[in-house]
């Protein structure tokens, strides 16, 4: 016979004291650290403990007794349920302050290296509607809010298109209005939902792997072009006919979509890297521009999702690189070669390395598109490509620019950089914690001379950081 779980307590009148990682805030009760989402320092709240360990707990604020002077009014009706834009309740100036502190804490606590005075964080010009890419999932299992559950209403239709609920992989929150992109995302998503419900199209069941409508991806660009990729799960002629009818409807109703694409995905996951994307109408790609450069962006291409702020980020990286035109530059984790092509005019040669072969093909296309003949691109696992032999063949770089994924750089890559011994390293990071770990590994040979945080994602806890290292 199993033992009954002891009910977790409710704590009353608890002061929220600080901001923690992953967008959560902190309260302390009797030496117990409690992590709470959707509240801000200065709030006094009642907490329902949801999970308790020896040294910490996770809780939900069930009542706010006193609002903090720091608190801002969230602008999205889905705030608190969606899981995105968790910092809407913080004024943007406070978001920037906490992000600056997050970078400083990570570099000092984890890196434990000597640092110069950090530059003030570069805030984003736009704090809403700043993204150029969004993805929405379809599901026949709509997530019901606590208010909807409490109402006792029986919902006849449980189809939804929107964002996955954190911790509930097969549930989708039905999104009526999203402020992350301009209004085209709302018009398209709501238009597709209305058509699907009116014509009896089935929404995907992740557990059963059934249903026609699976995913939609939307891209926009500074050139005014719009890409819509519909991801279907077509298992027969009837499914294909329904999908084509929807695409015809979208083509007629939304003529501003310049690239209307679709893919048939019958796999267990939503990834499309190994699938053929079909063009239904328009072009199979769109163009993005930056400082006179054009970048061809396809459905599988990686491109920074905040275009305007990406320009600011790349300007920082280029400035830190201090190129004169004579340098051999290695651009590690180059993606579609955006940084490589961005700095190529100020360098003698740029060598870019990236894991994804399709991205490297994009990088080559973008170099040719911009008349750049001093770039070389290689595809493969960084630790396998960036070897002593590779460096000896291509020459030891004067400058290395590295922009790794959130996990940071593999130890073998760090060792290869130390062997290459460039006089300068520019380290662009989307995760200051793993950046700090890597800086500690480089510290014997390199000193940090500049630190510049950049905010790419307003209303979230995420922050980019650029560090310049000079050879000792």
Active site positions, annotated? 430
Residue 244, C-beta contacts closer than 8 angstroms, at least 6 positions apart: 280
Of 93, 128, 107, the closest CA to residue 465 belongs to: 107
Alpha-carbon distance 314 to 428, whole Å?
9
Q: How far is CA 81 from CA 48, 85, 147, 173, 461, in A?
A: 16, 10, 11, 8, 17
Instruction: Give SS3 for 288.
Output: strand
Alpha-carbon distance 336 to 329, whole Å?
16
Q: Phi, psi (5° rounding) for residue 420?
A: -65, -30
Residue 184, C-beta contacts closer than 8 angstroms, at least 6 positions apart: 218, 220, 226, 256
Alpha-carbon distance 162 to 144, whole Å?
13
Q: How far is CA 258 from CA 105, 236, 426, in A?
A: 45, 28, 37
Q: How long is the chain?
A: 472
Alpha-carbon distance 284 to 414, whole Å?
38
């Amino acid at each position: 016979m199993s033992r009954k779980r002891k009910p977790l307590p409710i704590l009353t009148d608890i002061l929220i004291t600080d901001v923690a990682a992953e967008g959560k805030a902190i309260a302390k009760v009797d030496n117990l650290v409690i992590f709470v989402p959707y509240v801000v320092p200065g709030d006094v709240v009642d907490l329902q403990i949801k999970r308790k360990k020896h040294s910490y707990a996770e809780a939900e604020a069930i009542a706010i007794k006193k609002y903090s002077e720091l608190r801002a009014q969230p602008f999205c009706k889905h705030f608190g349920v969606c899981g995105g834009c968790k910092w809407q309740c913080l004024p943007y100036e406070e978001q920037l302050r906490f992000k600056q502190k997050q970078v400083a804490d990570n570099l000092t606590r984890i890196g434990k290296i000597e640092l110069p005075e950090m530059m003030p964080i570069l805030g984003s010009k736009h704090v809403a509607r700043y993204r150029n890419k969004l993805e929405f999932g379809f599901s026949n299992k709509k997530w019901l809010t606590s208010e909807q559950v409490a109402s006792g209403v029986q919902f006849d239709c449980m189809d939804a298109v929107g964002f996955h609920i954190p911790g509930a992989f097969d549930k989708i929150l039905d999104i009526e209005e999203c402020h992350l992109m301009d209004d085209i995302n709302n018009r398209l998503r709501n238009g597709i939902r209305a058509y699907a419900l009116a014509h009896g199209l089935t929404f995907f069941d992740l557990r059963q792997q059934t249903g026609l409508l699976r995913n939609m991806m939307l891209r926009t660009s500074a050139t005014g072009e719009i890409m819509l990729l519909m991801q279907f799960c077509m298992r027969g002629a009837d499914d294909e006919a329904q999908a084509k009818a929807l695409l015809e409807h979208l083509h007629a109703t939304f003529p501003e979509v310049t690239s209307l694409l679709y893919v048939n995905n019958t796999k267990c996951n939503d990834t499309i890297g190994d699938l053929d994307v079909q063009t239904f109408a328009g072009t199979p790609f769109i163009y993005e521009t930056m400082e006179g450069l054009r970048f061809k962006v396809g459905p599988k291409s990686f491109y920074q999702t905040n275009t305007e702020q990406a320009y600011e980020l790349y300007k920082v990286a280029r400035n830190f690189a201090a190129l004169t035109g004579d340098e051999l530059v290695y651009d590690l984790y180059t993606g579609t070669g955006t940084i490589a092509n961005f700095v190529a005019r100020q360098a003698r040669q740029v060598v870019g390395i990236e894991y994804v072969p399709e991205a490297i093909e994009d990088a080559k296309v973008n170099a040719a598109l911009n008349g750049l003949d001093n770039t070389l691109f290689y595809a493969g696992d960084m630790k396998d490509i960036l070897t002593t032999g590779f460096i000896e063949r291509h020459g030891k770089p004067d400058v290395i620019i590295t922009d790794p994924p959130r996990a940071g750089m593999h130890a073998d890559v760090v060792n290869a950089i130390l062997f290459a011994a460039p006089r300068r390293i520019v380290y662009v990071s989307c995760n200051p914690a793993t950046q700090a770990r890597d800086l500690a590994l480089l510290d014997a040979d390199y000193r940090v001379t500049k630190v510049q945080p950049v905010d790419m994602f307003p209303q979230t806890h995420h922050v980019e950081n650029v560090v310049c290292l000079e050879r000792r």
